[in-house]
């Protein structure tokens, strides 16, 4: 004979199984959606300085400053299963010391219901653009890319890179220390 606790456990386990199955079905309805979107990035002002690194070493490293324009329409990415987008702008470049360097310069969270049409002018990078040496001055191939993580209610967390990027070069000479961007 089953006790009340045994029957409650059975009902609870069955309910959890049904909820898991429904959640998986909900995920399947949006799993094949295309999360790509065209973006446009322009770089306005570029300077590079040679500054003291405040870590344990006393070496001077390159610090880059850029201002950029960013346009993208991400409205079509939102559906009933998406909570938010986590956007981030990365700079990728190579140096003699490292084959691939990636630096996050800017990020933003867009929640469902917020304006997802980006039209920013003359934005400064949110985070420092430090190189672990002297790899920025005169670097000819720095590529800016806007990427995003889709944060769904149920399902996977894809990392998507926008369609489009911007490649620029840093100046060959350091900017004096008192110059402002």
Q: Does any domain span residue 124?
A: yes
DSSP structure class, residue 25: H
Same domain, 96 and 14: no
Same-domain status, 27 and 109: no
105 within a domain of the structure (yes/no)? yes
Domain extent, residue 7, equals 1-32
Same domain flag for 4 and 90: no
15 & 66 share domain: no
CA torsion angle 138 180 98 146 (round to 10) = -100
Return all residues near 80 (Cβ < 8 A) that are at least 6 apart: 30, 153
Based on the fold, state whether residues 20 and 54 are members of the same structural domain. Answer: no
pLDDT tens profile 98-149:
889 999 999 999 999 899 999 999 999 999 888 888 888 888 899 999 999 9
Residue 25's pLDDT band (boundaries 50, 70, 90)? Answer: confident
Q: Report the distance separating Cα 110 and Cα 86, nearest Å.
A: 7
pLDDT value for 88: 96
42 and 56 in a single domain? The answer is yes
Q: What is the mean pLDDT of the chain?
A: 88
- Look at residue 137 and tell me if it is in a domain: yes
Q: Are residues 23 and 98 in the same domain?
A: no
Structural domain includes residue 81: yes
Domain shared by 24 and 102, yes or no: no
The pTM assigned to this predicted structure is 0.83
pLDDT of residue 60: 81
What pLDDT does 172 receive? 85
Tell me how many domains the chain contains.
2
Same domain, residue pair 17 and 94: no
Looking at the fold, whether 26 and 38 belong to one and the same domain comes out as no
Q: Is 26 left (phi over 0), alpha (psi -120 to 50) or beta?
A: alpha
Residue 29's pLDDT band (cuts 50, 70, 90): confident
As a whole number of angstroms, the distance between CA 46 and CA 134 comes to: 16
């Amino acid at each position: 004979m089953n006790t009340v606790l045994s029957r409650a456990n059975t009902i609870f386990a069955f309910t959890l199984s049904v909820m898991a199955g429904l959640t998986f079905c909900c995920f399947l309805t949006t799993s094949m959606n295309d999360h790509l979107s065209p973006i446009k990035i322009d770089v306005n002002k570029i300077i590079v300085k040679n500054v003291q690194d405040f870590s344990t070493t006393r070496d001077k490293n390159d610090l880059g400053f850029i201002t950029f324009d960013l346009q993208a329409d991400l409205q079509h990415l939102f559906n009933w299963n998406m909570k938010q987008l986590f956007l981030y702008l990365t700079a990728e470049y190579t140096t003699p010391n490292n084959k691939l360097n990636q630096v996050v310069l800017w990020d933003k969270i867009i929640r469902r219901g917020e304006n997802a049409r980006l039209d920013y002018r003359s934005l400064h990078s949110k985070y420092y653009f430090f190189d672990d040496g002297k790899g920025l001055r005169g670097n000819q191939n720095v590529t800016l890319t806007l990427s995003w993580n889709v944060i769904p209610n149920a399902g996977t967390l894809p990392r998507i890179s926008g369609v489009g990027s911007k490649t620029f070069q840093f100046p060959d000479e350091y900017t004096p220390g008192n110059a402002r961007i």
